[in-house]
Amino acid sequence: MCIFCKIVAREIPADIVFESINVLAFNDISPQAPTHVLVIPKWHHENAAELAAQAPGLLAEIVSVADQIAKERELDGYRLAFNTGESAGQTVFHAHLHLLGGRALGWPPG
């Protein structure tokens, strides 16, 4: 079982900020901004493209959950990122949407 599947199964603790039937959101263990939340499907998909192909509604729900969290926190802007592949910085191969906000975010990202 992958590390995020273990968080879903409550085998590993996480600071959970939102949960629904299909989606879990929790604070990143190594936050890169005042808000750095990971929004994930409760079922294992390797990356965002696989999630889009296999469960497009779930991908849409994940984006909506991120926006809902941003609105609750009254972020004046935010960044969503799906790192895909090792060279793009993906280290956990269970699709996860990074929600980053609460500070000015530079562009382009590193």
- 87 interacts with ligand 5GP by CB under 6 A: no
How far is it, in rounded angstroms, from Cα 24 to Cα 31? 17
Per annotation, catalytic residue among 45, 94, 96, 98: 96
Residue position matching structure tokens 């968080």? 7
For Zn ion, give the closer residue by CB, 1 or 105.
1
In 10 A of CB 105, how many CB atoms?
A: 13
- 81 interacts with Zn ion by CB under 5 A: no
Contact pattern from residue 3 through residue 42 relative to Zn ion, giving x for each residue in contact according to CB under 5 A and a dash for the rest:
-xx-------------------------------------
3-state DSSP assignment of residue 59: helix
Query: ω into residue 108 within 30 of 0, thus cis?
Result: yes
- 94 interacts with Zn ion by CB under 5 A: yes
- 90 interacts with ligand 5GP by CB under 6 A: yes
Reply yes or no on whether 96 is catalytic: yes
Q: Which two tokens stand for residue 88?
A: 């793009």
Nearest to 79 by CA among 36, 31, 15, 45: 36
- Looking at 27-35, 41-49, 53-61, 71-79, which segment touches ligand 5GP (CB under 6 A)? 27-35
Q: Which residues of this protein are in contact with ligand 5GP, per CB under 6 A? A: 3, 12, 14, 26-30, 38, 83, 89-92
